[in-house]
Amino acid sequence: MHLRTLAATFLILTAACSAHADIGPAEKPDLKLGFIKLTDMAPLAIAWEQGFFLDEGLFVELEAQANWKVLLDGVVTGTLDGAHMLAGQPLGATIGYGTQADIITAFSMDLNGNGITVSNDVWEQMRPHIDDGSDGNPAHPINAAALKPVIEQYRDKGERFRMGMVFPVSTHNYELRYWLAAGGLNPGFYAPQRGDTSGNIDADVHLSVTPPPQMPATMEAGTIQGYCVGEPWNQQAVFKGIGVPVITDYEIWPNNPEKVFGVTEAWAEQYPNTHLRLLRALIRAAHWLDENDNANREEAVKILSRSSYVGADEEVIANSMTGTFEYEKGDVRIVPDFNVFFRYYATYPYPSDAIWYLSQMRRWGQIPEPKSDDWYMETAAKVYRADIYKEAARTLIEDGTLKAEDFPDLDAENFARPHQGELIDGVAFTPREPNAYIDSFEIGLKGSQTP
């Protein structure tokens, strides 16, 4: 049996190397990749379960991490070869916010996928300030202005209104801040130059870090009154009867970028063939997740429900992964694009994605000093490596695995992500003029202001 296993391994490696000889064999075939227990880690799970990693001659161990800080540290120190990351993590590390490290991404893992949930008590207080739709259910999207009277009551009692997000440079932090500010609430500022990294200077709502799987229990305990997190932890609150998701990030910004796959720049330079083969496998996995109008999603739900991946009930994961989303118990709505992994060119690392994150870092003080428009452009190009993605995509087209139309024009600039809707506050995102964009907000730092 041992000899058969060795023979099979040899055949897999030989086939992978001959099929993609233009790439060359992986310099490091044995890999350990990290992830957090969220449904948007799906491309990693599917690449393993469908044999896409093996097709590339890669022997991958997937390892769940305790939190985003532990995950990032693992990549930086080399105990992990790469990981499922928050889209802001490679940017934050590269510019030296928190951990200083040159991290790059050449693969966007998904679009959308998050929600903002409040406790039942807060929801009951918000509900009178929310209009009904024609079906008698709350009209969506729900503006954060409906939360304002609740926060005023907390303030009158001398209490802080607290909400959780998953990490200071997470999409969740910026989406929650964006939603609050769009409703006239100040989510607070960071002042790293003064040693204040709480993010709560002048805050109407105090935000703190909570690991995703712990969000429902932390809210149930009353430590926080709400949170912004990825799935399945909003739907978990509905199933447990402890909270109500009030808005999805699709409603805040349709087809917003979410997670990425990150490695250190040094790792990518040391193992270029391995990196390309990883990207090929992940692109194929993302395609599998979305092909034939999400036909594979039920199988994906079964895979993700395993304890080695997300470890939540199938029913909870299916609520969002199969194109629906439940707000109040029984208020199930069709949201086919709640999770997008491949369509709309989701996997391409557009520079505009990076610029939006950087603009929010500046808006809330994580970047304490003003930067030139050129700085934003240069930082985006350094971290979001479309050149490496294009190389992997071209090989998939050349060997007939995927079609040219599955990708944007690989000979074009591809600066701004297409197929995106308007942000909830109506402020136009102008990625080629990031400073003008930052200055257009009523709440947030502008020009030369410092927190």
Residue 424 lies in a domain: no
pLDDT digits (tens, 9 = 90+) for 395-433: 999 999 999 999 999 999 999 999 999 999 999 999 999
Q: Which of 205, 229, 70 is nearest to 147 (CA)?
A: 205
Tell me the torsion sign for CA atoms 56, 61, 384, 230: positive
Among candidates 231, 201, 229, 171, which has minimal Cα distance to 40?
231
Residue at 430 is within a domain:
no
Q: Measure CA of the first residue to CA of the last residue in the chain; give whole Å.
A: 65
| Domain match, 134 and 239 both | yes
Distance of CA 222 to the CA centre of its chain: 26
Domain count, the chain: 2
The residue among 208, 232, 255 that closes a domain is 255
pLDDT at 20: 54
Answer whether residue 19 shows pLDDT above 70: no
Top pLDDT among 283 and 13 is at: 283
Pair (303, 367) in one structural domain: yes
Nearest to 323, CA basis, from 244, 259, 236, 250: 250
Residue 286: CATH number of its domain: 3.40.190.10
Q: Which of 255, 280, 312 is the last residue of a domain?
A: 255
Decide if 432 is inside a domain.
no
Do 29 and 131 lie in one domain? The reply is no
Domain shared by 225 and 162, yes or no? yes
Cα of 254 vs its chain's centroid, Å = 14
Find out whether 146 and 129 touch, Cβ atoms under 8 Å.
yes
> Do 245 and 262 belong to one domain?
no
Pair 134, 192 in one domain: yes
DSSP 387-405: HHHHHHHHHHHHTTSS-GG
The answer to whether residue 416 sits within a structural domain is no
- The one-letter code for the residue type at 177 is R
Hunting for tokens 């928190």 — which residue is that?
A: 98
Residue 435 C-alpha from the chain's centroid: 24
User: What is the spatial distance between Cα 380 and Cα 215, in angstroms, rounded to a whole number?
Assistant: 31
Express the helix, strand and coil content of the chain in percent, nearest 5 each: 45, 15, 40
Does the residue 250 lie in any domain?
Answer: yes
Instruction: Mark which of 255, 276, 301 sits at the end of a domain.
Output: 255
Of 5-9, 92-96, 262-266, 302-306, minimum mean pLDDT range: 5-9
Give tens-digit pLDDT for 53-73.
Answer: 999 999 999 999 999 999 999
Please, which contacts does 96-100 make with residues 24 or more away whose CB atoms are closer than 8 Å?
97/168, 97/169, 97/192, 97/361, 97/366, 97/367, 98/168, 98/169, 98/197, 99/69, 99/72, 99/73
The pLDDT tens digits for 376-397 are 999 999 999 999 999 999 999 9
Full residue range of the structural domain in which residue 138 is found: 114-255
The answer to whether residue 445 is domain-embedded is no
